[in-house]
Amino acid sequence: MQVLLQAPTPFDQSILWRFHDAYFGARGIDAWNQGEVPFYSTSNYASARQHAGFLTDLVLSQLETGRLAEGQEIWILEVGSGLGRFAANFLRALEIACGPAGAEVFDRLRYVLSDYSERSLREACATRALEPHVKAGRVIPALFDLRSRPGEGGLHFLDGAKGPPNAAFASQFQMVIANYVCCVVPLKNLQHKQAEGWLEQWVRVESKVADDAAPKPAEQMIDEMLATPTREGMVKGLTIQWEWRSRPLEEVYPKALHRDVLAALVRGLGDATVGYPHGFIDFVEGAGELLAPGGVMLVNDYGSIERKELAGLSERKPQIYGNSLANSINYAVFDAFAEVTGWHLLRSRDKLGSLHTAALRPGIGWTEREDLGFRKNYIAWRGGDDILDFTHTARLCAEKKDYDRALRYWRRAIELEPENPDHHYRAGDAAIDLGQYEMAVTFLEEGRGLAAGDTTLDFEFQLGRATCLASDYPASIGWYEKALEKENHPTTWTNLGVLYESADRFQDAYRCFKTAMEVDPQYARGRERMQILKDLLWRRKIEEFEGAGAKDPLRKLEDKKSVKEEKTASGDDEEEPAEDEESDDAEDEESDEEESDEEESDDEDEEEEEEEEEEEEESDDEDDEESDDEDDEESDDEDDEESDDDEKSAAA
């Protein structure tokens, strides 16, 4: 049964945005870490390096024009900072990738990291990537809802952190950065029909409830949803009806700025459909007061770039990530804003770009250095897009088992993002699949160093595999032991047991297989390996009792029986074997499958048998590695959730 939660309402005022705000408020950085909200395209190191390069050019220009004094602090404000990965990568790029000028900016930087979600902000500041900067006072956490005015008490520094000297923040910031934020602030969807004027998109929201559920007032249902805003699929599960309603623009927007920007935006297009981010435009206008003379408002977001893409009547619906909403933005809105307000604008115009950038500034035109800086950092070099393409292609190649190409792409990803442990992990994985075990060890050891204790990627397990395949068994034992300190996994126990067994450490091997069976009683390989160990120990004991090369008396019986069976099969002997023996044999055969070759060699001399045993053990190791690949793929799948982010980002 459907229950009406909200009668038709303009989209920007609908309860969907209350759920959106509540989601960001409660989810914290798991919104990104659990793959619900994409972030890699906006926050990767290569993309952050583009922005850091532009800031470096901007600061040089500010120094040249005397608008910034040598040695003066450089204040930056980031709004909607989310996970904080962008800030961390931006700071790192300034420090190491933008030459001496960038390093100097880094030294003088005061970076106000802000979000309206206190939970996200606190958790982001506690991440390994940001905590040292917070401690050093370089990153200053602040609560800020960009629908409020910073100078009017809207910007709150966390825990008494010291903000800029100018308490009203007027003319304070050299740069204000809004990364993937414009598209998440309430906006209106509008159609402009040449013949009829403006139409606004309204939404009607219903929720499905069980037919026998006790009726509840809509307000109570909304309150309950707001109390659990991180519930999976909560917003996606709503029934939303969209409709267009004719409405005079003066009524939609009493504020002339918005009417003027819209008029400029659709001028000459005929019928048009626009997602108009009035909330964000209000923020940009207000941010003018925050910017130091010559300071820049930098907007990075998804969407389209050509104004003509607005032409025609089309539907518009948000993307839903977690329980948040994201709307595609056409960057021509900034052309129209600049035209109406006289602000100066530089923006990327690459139709193929996955992310677009607009640099806006009131009053002061661009210097040649800034103009060139924009071209250099956003047009001539597109590292932010390249890293997305390299990682995507590498994954596809690995899926198609084109491992050498996958590895080449991971190598290129590492060149662009040298400190991302994920690329090293995957390069190591591809190198294992390619049979380049030593190379794999190098990638994995480097990656492990970069991950520095981060447990999301199991470098130790992969190193166990790679070193085993490189025949460095003592090293492999060491890595698997370390992997077990982090995760109690039956595959790791079993692999370790096999290595102990091959080193004649039978008691340790026994303990490993036993633990594997305890950790996961369904894990067949643990049981199989225990059986193999049991048979091996039994053979050894027989040799101890009877001398080298002695045959297993049970096996002799079996041999006789099988000769008999052969005869039976060939019609020489009509007599049937006893049923229980037959079933026992069948069982033995199944469990001894892997040993059948070895058993045949029972008749041969001791030396040969030992050689075979060794070979068998080695090949078992390899088999183990193969079966480990499955687990590996499982863990890849988990990581692939991150790669899904990329796909989402690309689709967003």
Q: How far is the CB of 329 from ligand SAM (least distance, A)?
A: 12
Quick note: the x/- pattern for ligand SAM over 265-284, rule CB under 6 A, is --------------------
The count of residues interacting with ligand SAM (CB under 6 A) is 24
Is residue 60 near ligand SAM by the rule CB under 6 A? Answer: no
> Which residue's CB is nearer to ligand SAM, number 205 or number 355?
355
Is residue 19 near ligand SAM by the rule CB under 6 A? Answer: no
Q: What is the CA angle 570-574-576, rounded to 5?
A: 105
Q: How far is the CB of 317 from ligand SAM (least distance, A)?
A: 17
Q: Which residue has the tokens 């590695």?
A: 625
Look at residues 280, 277, 304, 271 and name the one whose alpha carbon lies nearest to residue 198.
Answer: 271
Q: How far is the CB of 73 from ligand SAM (least distance, A)?
A: 23
Among 14, 50, 62, 120, binds ligand SAM (CB under 6 A): 120
Among 56, 62, 89, 179, binds ligand SAM (CB under 6 A): 179
Is residue 402 near ligand SAM by the rule CB under 6 A? Answer: no
- Return the H-helix or E-strand segment holding 157: strand 155-157
> In the structure, how many helices (H) and strands (E) does the chain have?
27, 17
Beta strands in 402-497 (DSSP E): none
Residue pair 410/384 in contact by the 8 Å Cβ criterion: no
Instruction: List the interface residues with ligand SAM, window 130-169 (CB under 6 A).
Output: 144-147
Q: How far is the CB of 147 from ligand SAM (least distance, A)?
A: 5
- Measured CA to CA in angstroms, residue 651 lies from 125, 352, 501, 546 at distances of 29, 12, 50, 71
Is residue 86 near ligand SAM by the rule CB under 6 A? Answer: yes
Q: Quote the CA–CA distance of 618 and 377 in Å, as a whole number.
A: 53
Q: Quote the CA–CA distance of 571 and 198 in Å, as a whole number.
A: 93
Is residue 89 near ligand SAM by the rule CB under 6 A? Answer: no
Is residue 90 near ligand SAM by the rule CB under 6 A? Answer: no
Binding range to ligand SAM, per CB under 6 A, among 116-124, 163-171, 195-203, 549-557? 116-124
Instruction: Please give the distance of CA 20 from its chain centroid, rounded to a whole number.
Output: 21
Binding range to ligand SAM, per CB under 6 A, among 178-186, 400-408, 541-549, 633-641? 178-186
Is residue 79 near ligand SAM by the rule CB under 6 A? Answer: yes
Residue 352: CA count within 13 A, CB half-sphere:
6
Among 5, 22, 181, 272, binds ligand SAM (CB under 6 A): 181
Among 68, 94, 139, 184, binds ligand SAM (CB under 6 A): 184
CB proximity list for 580: less than 8 A, separation 6 or greater: none
Is residue 515 near ligand SAM by the rule CB under 6 A? Answer: no
For CA atoms 498, 504, 506, 507, give the dihedral sign.
negative
* R_g over Cα of the chain: 32
Among 111, 116, 302, 500, binds ligand SAM (CB under 6 A): 116
Residue 213: CA count within 13 A, CB half-sphere:
12
Instruction: Please give the distance of CA 349 from its chain centroid, rounded to a whole number.
Output: 27
Is residue 91 near ligand SAM by the rule CB under 6 A? Answer: no
* Residue 261 phi, psi (nearest 5): -65, -45
> Which residue's CB is nearer to ligand SAM, number 230 or number 492?
230
Q: Give residues in contact with ligand SAM (CB under 6 A).
A: 24, 37, 39, 42-43, 79-83, 86, 115-117, 120, 144-147, 179-181, 184-185
